[in-house]
Structure 1
């Protein structure tokens, strides 16, 4: 929890705006909730001492305002031209309303702002942007989304861009960004199947993202080559970081495989086998670039320069929290399987 009382207030209003948006019974109320959420997140992002934070917050503000204005314009236009309370008249209406929400959540091909904004943020704000900030737009999309050519193309583009885009990246933030875009495609599939499935996927994805971010922040690495030069004393920290990454990629023994497994089963049940094949292959590509980082850091390149002798004893609390989260990531799937088979 931030020690600064202003940040605590902003975090409360951030979550409050998301809850207002999700629980609203009108599109105007949903738009107001999104605006409260945005106005709370911008001060959290900006920092007068860091030029990159200010630039990222300005980029994010412009994109989100564009999406919010488009959403409000579309909702008002549809209510004036069709019916005041329903969207059943026109089959194109869900597509029109979902487009600004897809821009807000960073789904491909509307993802162009996402890597640039992530690169200029602190790790705490990166975690918020990848988890909390996606919840309200995705939940609003669940009211309208259905399987059609538009939704299928967005899912395909998100999973393909998220997998191929991360292959040539060296920044850990950008790798997590493209992984988040890939997971957004999976979450859209879960939304078309059932809201409960999306909720399970989103909760597990948020837990794994927080685990990865806490482990990476603890190591102090921002780029791939820095992970190869971590302190030999911090072997546990290195292990936590890479097992969490592999879990986020969906490697079977870990918790991250569980929601993907459920989504694949739901897709096959609903006769979406070609789409399931594509998303599984793209998920394997994301797993490849996680394995590439882990393998090179553990097996091939393991150097320790003299300037990197700082121990993490003064961060005992962060060590414990990262260890607990990574334990959930490691053993969560086994626990869930045992619980589901008890009765």
Structure 2
């Protein structure tokens, strides 16, 4: 798709679908918003530069249609059986309605479609799939959430599969995919604190995700071994990627630790010590494959062979610099603001 006006139109309808779902006062309106969002994203996935986009768009269409039709069927059947305002008064109803929404958002154990689709997308579409496409399902889950045994199993499976699944991956897209599954578990756990806490986590995760994608997009890299030849003449780019990946892993000096800190504190107060210990251990395991990507950042003085032809010059965009600075100094600024005000 080369027509920029078409892309702008589809992006507008994609965002309008998210807003319709979030602001709908009935489940039918929320379902319509989800359908508008899905049908706007599928044409954006198609491109002539990548042969895998057709397969990825077909897989995405089938999975999302399955989730949407299941959601519509469950809503209609429950509203027939019970009164509409009694839908979420018990844990079973919440579990039934949350299941297709978890499938849409790619949480484990409903994540089976996520890695293969991500591998066939461009970097911009990867960012949309990991962030914007999860906003409406997560918001609808937060409306109808009951923190029962089913949700804690989903949270623990998301955190575990997201950390273990990225261990043997060499594709940066799949590593970011399993990282997204891991963060989904933390976002669902954040919903137990309040309706706004998961949104803070999601906002910080989106900033970190955008920073990494801007860096790999400017360098045109897709695999770990390509990071060793990434901008040898510009060490700043490596440093930015290094710090952003550590921030996404939740290392304390960086902004990515802030929402995890709040979740850890809240769950310890509520005597959920075993669950939060397992989540922290699995989150530390994700640092392993983050460090594999930024290994070249440690070896800043590495040399490149003279026969490698540089087809493009490395560029550091202003947006990457600003977002990386927010990632590095955000936690310090937030703590200063809290202590001062």
TM-score after normalising by structure 1: 0.95
> In the alignment, which residue of structure 1 is the partner of 2:9?
9
TM-aligned CA distance change 1:308 to 1:258, over 3 Å: farther
> In the alignment, which residue of structure 1 is the partner of 2:246?
246
Q: Tell me the distance in 2 between the aligned counterparts of 1:76 and 1:59.
A: 26
Question: Where do 4+ consecutive residues of structure 1 move more than 6 Å?
Answer: none
Name structure 1 gaps, 5 residues minimum: none
Q: Tell me the distance in 2 between the aligned counterparts of 1:241 and 1:41.
A: 28
After superposing the two structures, state which structure 1 stretch, 11-20 or 318-327, moved more. 318-327
> In the alignment, which residue of structure 1 is the partner of 2:258?
258
Instruction: Check the 8 A contact 1:219/1:237 in 2, yes or no.
Output: no
> In the alignment, which residue of structure 2 is the partner of 1:117?
117
Helix, strand or coil: the match of 2:192?
helix
> In the alignment, which residue of structure 1 is the partner of 2:151?
151
Displacement, 1:110? 0.4
Q: Tell me the distance in 2 between the aligned counterparts of 1:265 and 1:290.
A: 25
Q: Tell me the distance in 1 between the aligned counterparts of 2:139 and 2:222.
A: 31
Q: Tell me the distance in 2 between the aligned counterparts of 1:252 and 1:304.
A: 33
Displacement, 1:147? 1.7
Displacement, 1:22? 0.6
Q: Tell me the distance in 1 between the aligned counterparts of 2:279 and 2:309.
A: 40
Residues 61-91 of structure 1 deviation map (CA, whole Å, 9 limit, x = unaligned): 1100000000000000100111133314543
Displacement, 1:323? 1.0
> In the alignment, which residue of structure 1 is the partner of 2:337?
339
Name structure 2 gaps, 5 residues minimum: none
TM-aligned CA distance change 1:267 to 1:76, over 3 Å: same
* Corresponding position: 1:287 with 2:284: no
Residues 138-175 of structure 1 deviation map (CA, whole Å, 9 limit, x = unaligned): 11001121221100100000000000000000000000
Helix, strand or coil: the match of 1:228?
helix
Q: Tell me the distance in 1 between the aligned counterparts of 2:88 and 2:122.
A: 43
- How do 1:165-204 and structure 2 match up within 5 A? 165-204=165-204
Displacement, 1:300? 9.4
TM-score after normalising by structure 2: 0.95
